Amino acid sequence: MLEIPVNVMGKPDMIHPTLLRDQDTQILVDTGYPGQLSILREVINKTEAPFEKLGKIMITHHDADHIGSLSAILKELPESCEVLAHEEEKPYIQGEKSLRIYLCLFTFYLVHLFPVN
């Protein structure tokens, strides 16, 4: 389990994306809030599993703290990185549905207005 520091409504907190791995595969479960690519990469690289070796990303659901940095991660990783999610999450992941977009935007601004150092 990874520990990623965040500020939620001005209060320090932690989120816990999870890194699963064996000799052949690395799977990141959830991707943190939007804008957390650099801290996520840093925390993953502190394990024995380099960020660049991620082969799969599993999304549990489309809340901002679970899906927020997915697009940024996919831009950084080779095209071979596979995203795993329930079929009902697909329209949110692909940006076709934005049921929680206001919550996501609100959270994004909170994370950036109150960064954890």
Distance CA 2, CA 16 (A): 5
The helix or strand, by DSSP H or E, that contains position 11, with its residue range, turns out to be strand 11-15
What are the pLDDT digits (tens) for 22-74? 888 899 999 998 899 999 999 999 998 889 889 999 999 888 788 889 989 99
What are the pLDDT digits (tens) for 69-97? 998 999 988 677 899 999 988 888 887 87
Distance CA 42, CA 101 (A): 27
Report the top-level CATH class of 4-110.
Answer: alpha beta
Q: How many CA atoms are closer than 13 Å to the CA of 54, on its beta-carbon side?
A: 29
